[in-house]
Amino acid sequence: MTTGSRARVGLVGAGWWSGRTHLPALSANPDAELVVICDPDAERAQAAAAMFDVPHSVTTIEQLLDHDLDCVLVATPHDTHHRPAAAALDAGVDVMVEKPMTLDPGQAWDLVRRARESGARLHVGYPFPHSPHAAAVRELIARGDIGEPVMVTGLFATSVATLYRGNVDLVAEQDRFAPRASTYAERAHGGGQLHTQMTHAASLVLWTTGLRPREVSAYAQDGGLDVDLSDALAVSMEGGAIATLATTGSVYDHNLRLEEYRIFGSEGHVLLDTARGTLWVLRRGHEPVEHPTLSEHDAQPSDATSAALVAAALGKGPVLVPGEIGAMTVDLLNAAQESARIGGPISARPAASAVVGSGG
Ligand SMILES: NC(=O)c1ccc[n+]([C@@H]2O[C@H](COP(=O)([O-])OP(=O)(O)OC[C@H]3O[C@@H](n4cnc5c(N)ncnc54)[C@H](O)[C@@H]3O)[C@@H](O)[C@H]2O)c1
């Protein structure tokens, strides 16, 4: 455990996202001591450790947990998050699980339960809530500035279709590590737009508004792939608010992506754009307020997630995105997937057996 002022960190999964974001961010974080990297592919683990001056590389979670850690970051393919996260939480070690927290709602709520039982902190690796605009929206809605939320619409349209085709060569040309083709291109591993991208939009809506999904009707479109390329969700919330959430990975250029949220309340509305870094707040009886435009980094501060894990472990910061938000998002997306499959509405409430509290 912490001996000095730095948190001892273990990283699980030496893949694309770790190499592009977590390893550079943790290496540059003066509060973090990167101790060990785990990947079943020993060569990947060793290569990442050598590249970022990390003293140990291992191939199992048990070996990783032998290193007396304060926190563990899990950045493995979607369908493999539960096991390493559960083992670390049971050992009383703080965990940040990458998005989507899990594919299965039971596994997601199981992690929430394990964290509560062991007292370890559980974060989910969504970057958008770490932006100042998302924080402002959350605060003003909690204060009642726009009244009761009545309707939300979100559009998350990004340029990731190439991953769903299993074409990782383009990524390999730009980044230190390329993802495994199976991570995003195979339905069996939770590939596709719903779990890869819609998870960002859905979680941000839940996190900013405090709304809780009741039921969802969804359609999915696969564009001839093994996984979904586009999804459209109509969601009814507890308390009566409604939402539409739409997503596609079909945008042909990253710079042309659209990430827009319109949140309407009884007394005003909010226009948030995390791709352009803009935020407008329009309130009955007030002049419209345009918040200062954010840089691309500040609108999506990807390096902030590992920083939050480290800060919380040192008692210097909160769990900004708790496991409950991740698990509610898994509930919603799992229900949406089922709705699209059967062609009818599905309850998006946590399964009765899974309810462990109202969550943050
Ligand atoms: N927060 C974000 O904005 C963001 C962005 C990109 C990716 N991600 C998430 O990060 C995670 C990893 O994505 P990626 O693109 O790096 O994937 P990737 O295909 O590069 O795989 C990650 C690595 O995990 C390893 N691995 C597989 N099973 C493992 C296990 N059981 N234990 C340890 N390591 C294991 C693989 O060998 C691989 O090296 C995914 O859940 C993804 O959704 C998040």
How many whole angstroms from 149 Cα to the centroid of ligand 1? 35
Note whether 82 and 216 are same-domain residues: no
Q: Among 21, 57, 98, which residue has the most ligand 1 atoms within 8 Å of its CB, making it the best to mutate?
A: 98
Same domain, 120 and 178: no
Query: Where does ligand 1 bind, in terms of residues with CB under 6 Å?
Result: 12-18, 38-41, 44, 75-78, 80, 84, 98-99, 125, 127, 179-180, 183, 196, 302
For residue 125, give the ligand 1 atom closest to its CA: 1
pLDDT at 166: 87
Ligand 1 centroid, distance to 189 Cα (angstroms): 11
Residue 31: pLDDT above 80? yes
In the structure encoding, which two tokens stand for residue 123, read together? 């974060």
Nearest CA to ligand 1 atom 40: 77
Atom of ligand 1 nearest to the CA of 14: 39
In terms of domains, do 249 and 173 share one? yes
Number of domains in the chain: 2
199's CB contacts (< 8 A; 6+ apart) are 99, 100, 126, 329, 333
Of the three residues 124, 146, 164, the one that is the final residue of a domain is: 124
From ligand 1's centre to the CA of 20, what distance in Å?
Answer: 11
Per residue in 107-146, pLDDT tens?
Answer: 999 999 999 999 999 999 999 999 999 999 999 999 999 9
Q: Partners of 38 in the beta sheet?
A: 12, 58
What spacing in Å lies between the alpha carbon of 260 and ligand 1's midpoint? 26
Examine the domain organization and report whether 260 and 229 are in the same domain.
Answer: yes
Rounded to the nearest angstrom, the distance between the alpha carbon of 317 and the centre of ligand 1 is 25
Q: What's the mean pLDDT in 44-50?
A: 96
Q: Could you give the CA distance from residue 65 to residue 32 in angstroms, rounded to a whole number?
A: 17
Provide the pLDDT for residue 358.
Answer: 38
Q: Where residue 106 sits, what CATH number does that domain have? A: 3.40.50.720
Which protein residue's CA is at the shortest distance from atom 21 of ligand 1?
A: 15
Distance CA 110, CA 89 (A): 11
Query: Model's pTM, two decimal places?
Result: 0.95
Boundaries of domain holding 58: 7-124
For residues 326 and 226, the model is more confident at: 326
236 plus 168 within the same structural domain: yes
Give pLDDT tens digits for 203-256: 999 999 999 999 999 999 998 899 999 999 999 999 999 999 999 999 999 999
- 213 and 137 belong to one structural domain: yes
Could you check whether the bond before residue 132 is cis, i.e. omega within 30 degrees of 0?
no
pLDDT tens profile 82-114: 999 999 999 999 999 999 999 999 999 999 999
- The 3-state secondary structure of 259-319 reads EEEEEEECCEEEEEECCCCEEEEEECCCCCEEECCCCHHHHCCCCHHHHHHHHHHCCCCCC
Find the 180 Cα to ligand 1 centroid distance in Å: 8
From the CA of 196, how far away is ligand 1's center (Å)?
11
CATH assignment of the domain containing 141 = 3.30.360.10
Residue 1 lies in a domain: no
